[in-house]
Each structure stands twice: as structure tokens, then as C-alpha cells.
Amino acid sequence: MKITAVEAVPFSIPYSKPLRFASGEVHSADHVLVRVHTDEGVVGVAEAPPRPFTYGETQDGILAVIRQIFAPQIVGLRLTEREVVTARLARTVGNPTAKAAVDMAIWDALGRSLDLPVSDLLGGYTNRMRVSHMLGFDSPEAMVTEAERIVDRYGIRTFKVKVGRRPIELDTAVVRALREHFGDTVELYVDANRGWSAAEALRAMTQMADLDLLFAEELCPADDVLGRRWLVSHLQVPFIADESVPTPADVTREVLAGSATAVSIKTARTGFTGSQRVHHLAEGLGLEVVIGNQIDGQVGTACAVAFGAAFERTARRAGELSNFLDMSDDLLAAPLRIRDGELHVPAGPGLGIEIDPDKLARYRTDH
């Protein structure tokens, strides 16, 4: 079970409904498919979604770091030497989604080799998660209409509302319109992607105080060190750290500083190996966790649900597993389906997914 090659394939799939949020917008999934090949012919897959405005990674940068820096350091290692892989990749600071995709493709190959689902290898708590859907920037009316479509079509009843960088009154109007329309039949929380100052964030949260929010995420930058601590100390809801905690050490720093009280676990950012560490740390610190979405395609979403369903703590809350619904197509031979507000872990060894070769041929951009 030795790694013989690590392949990185760029692909591009347009969004049918672009997602807009405080730190950027996404019109097309310009991701990288990572395939780990082994000497026994088993191939593991995962996807890396570059988020230039979040971590500075680009599609070209991910291809380069995997091909030139990561692959040469791990070819020849056994699939079970994941800790060696982690230590070698950790020499490089940054590049979270490139590292995560390599890690998860190795887990997929390991699961396939052992004929066991990765989700069972990780923890095997359950086989499904409730789904939370992200609502990007639009008018209050359009966001209510979109939420209604998602409720009717997929049975999803948890929404993360993108806020920040635009007038606070508009964001408040959106959340108020959603609450008035759906009453207490939906769960709502907000994510500002660092789009406010601490003072603006507290003003916004005060305006939304009667709207029964579950959480507030990344309302202001973590670098506003004292401001953020002050903000978190005034909030009535858990404050989720997302892009401010790309590593377990960042979780420790933010939480012990009083700058966050909950954590978004994104397998696209910490893979399975790093997400286990974040999960265990959160358990030890007694933090709420939410399975987040790095605007993943279906390959990435299969990874997120495999991890989220593996642990009791991550399966408690609805996971963000539906951004792929906004894409015009995807790479899987058997597409993921959200029904009655839930997504099941694909059954089968590894991640339980297969790449459709025709779709990959259509969307890959390296030929």
C-alpha cells in the first residue's frame, strides 16, 4: 500500500447561481482534483477549492505546491504513514486546501484498500447529517424566495445568512424577513466573513437580538485583537471562528484569548487528520462545532459529510453540505442527493464515491 504518485488535475465548473459574501464571490468552481495512486492499483480522490480571498491559494498555486513540493515528499510512503505525511506537509506554512486534499485522498485510498468506509474508520457515529444551506447576498425578498425554494425542494431548515460589508440595516432586514416568513420552523445564523468592525458587529447583533440566532461567525477580523475579545464578551450567542482558525493551534489561540467560543470544522481546510485534531481539541475545551463549507463541490462535500457523521459532536448540528446545489454540474458518477433536509454518507469503501470519467474529461482544463 505504497503511494506511487500524486496527481493534481485542474477543473472548472460554472455556478448556476453565483455566491456573494463579504470577502468575495464565486462564479465558477475552479478547483483541483487530487488523486493518490498506489502500488496496488488503488486510487484515492479528494478536491481542493482555492479561496484566493481567504487563504491566498489559487488553482495554479495548488497545482504547483502539490506537484513540486508535496508529491516528491510523500511518494514511496505507505498509506498508513499518515502522520509522516502530516509532519512533512507541515514544514510548509499555509496552503491549507492543498494539504487537506492530499490528506483526504490518502484516507480514501486507505479505506478502499481496507474495504471500509472512511467515515467508519474516523468514528462511525452515524451515516447522515442534517444540512444547513448558505444564503449569499441579495435583497431580502430574493433571499426569502431562495430559502423557500431550498425548504420546498430539499427539506433543509437551517440557513447560514451571509452578512457584513453592506449596510447593517439591509442585513438585519434579510434576517428579519426570513424569521417573519418562516417563524420558528427554521434555524438561522449569520456569517460576516470579517466584513464589520467590532463596533459595527455589536450594533448589528443588537438589531438582530430578537431574531433567535443560533450563532454568529467571523463578524470582524481576528486581527482586531482587543475589539474582537470585547465583541465576543458582549454576545448572547456562540461566536464561530472560521477562516481565523486554519490550524488547531489557531483554535487554541482564538479560544484562550476569548476571541471565539465555537469552531467551524472544514475538511477542505484541515483534511481528515487535521479535522480530527480540531474536533478533539474542541471536545476538550467544551466548544460547539459546526461542519463548515469551503464552497466545496460534491467530492469535497462527500468528505465533509464523512467526517461530520463520524463524531457525535459534529453530527449534533446541521452541517454546511449544500453549496454544490448552486453548481451547474459536478464530477461524481452518482451525484449526492439531499432529501428531507439530510445528506447520507455515500455507502461503500473509502469515501464511497466514483469520478465520472466523461465529466472529468469535459471539465478538466489541463488539455
294 interface partner picked from ligand MUC, Mg ion, none, CB below 5 to 8 A per type: ligand MUC
Which residue out of 266, 326, 330, 342 is catalytically annotated? 266
Active site residue 160: no
Active site residue 329: no
Other C-beta atoms within 10 Å of 80: how many? 12
Active site residue 294: yes
Q: Which residues bind ligand MUC (CB under 6 A)?
A: 21, 23, 51, 54, 191, 193, 242-243, 292-295
Active site residue 340: no
CB nearer to ligand MUC: give 215 or 355.
Answer: 215
Active site residue 217: yes
51 interface partner picked from ligand MUC, Mg ion, none, CB below 5 to 8 A per type: ligand MUC
Which residue out of 57, 103, 191, 342 is catalytically annotated? 191
What's the min distance (Å) between Cβ of 323 and ligand MUC?
8
Residue facing Mg ion at closest CB distance? 242
What's the min distance (Å) between Cβ of 134 and Mg ion?
9
171 interface partner picked from ligand MUC, Mg ion, none, CB below 5 to 8 A per type: none
Smallest CA-to-CA distance from 366 within 111, 129, 32, 116 is with: 32
Other C-beta atoms within 10 Å of 185: how many? 8
C-alpha cell of residue 10: 485542474
Q: 248-256 vs 267-285: helix axis angle to the nearest 10?
A: 40
For residue 246, give Cα distances in angstroms to 168, 191, 215, 219, 242.
28, 17, 19, 17, 8
Which residue out of 254, 294, 326, 342 is catalytically annotated? 294
Which amino acid is residue 73, in one-letter code? Q
Which amino acid is residue 219, in one-letter code? L
CB nearer to Mg ion: give 319 or 350.
Answer: 319
CB nearer to Mg ion: give 57 or 242.
Answer: 242
Q: Which residues bind Mg ion (CB under 5 A)?
A: 191, 217, 242
What's the min distance (Å) between Cβ of 119 and ligand MUC?
22
**What is the per-residue burial (b if ≥16 Cβ within 10 Å, else e) of 3-32?**
beebbbbbbebebeeebebbbeebeebbbb
Which residue out of 103, 108, 242, 296 is catalytically annotated? 242
Active site residue 17: no
3-state secondary structure of 358: helix
C-alpha cell of residue 237: 450567542
What's the min distance (Å) between Cβ of 279 and ligand MUC?
17
Which amino acid is residue 124, in one-letter code? G
For residue 168, give Cα distances in angstroms to 147, 175, 186.
20, 11, 22
**What is the per-residue burial (b if ≥16 Cβ within 10 Å, else e) of 288-306?**
bbbbbbbbbbbbbbbbbbb
CB nearer to ligand MUC: give 106 or 231.
Answer: 231
For residues 167 and 145, what is the distance between their CA atoms, to the nearest angstrom?
21
What's the min distance (Å) between Cβ of 240 and Mg ion?
7
CB nearer to Mg ion: give 3 or 143.
Answer: 143
Residue facing ligand MUC at closest CB distance? 54
CB nearer to ligand MUC: give 187 or 191.
Answer: 191
What's the min distance (Å) between Cβ of 15 and ligand MUC?
13
Give the catalytic positions in this structure: 162, 191, 217, 242, 266, 294
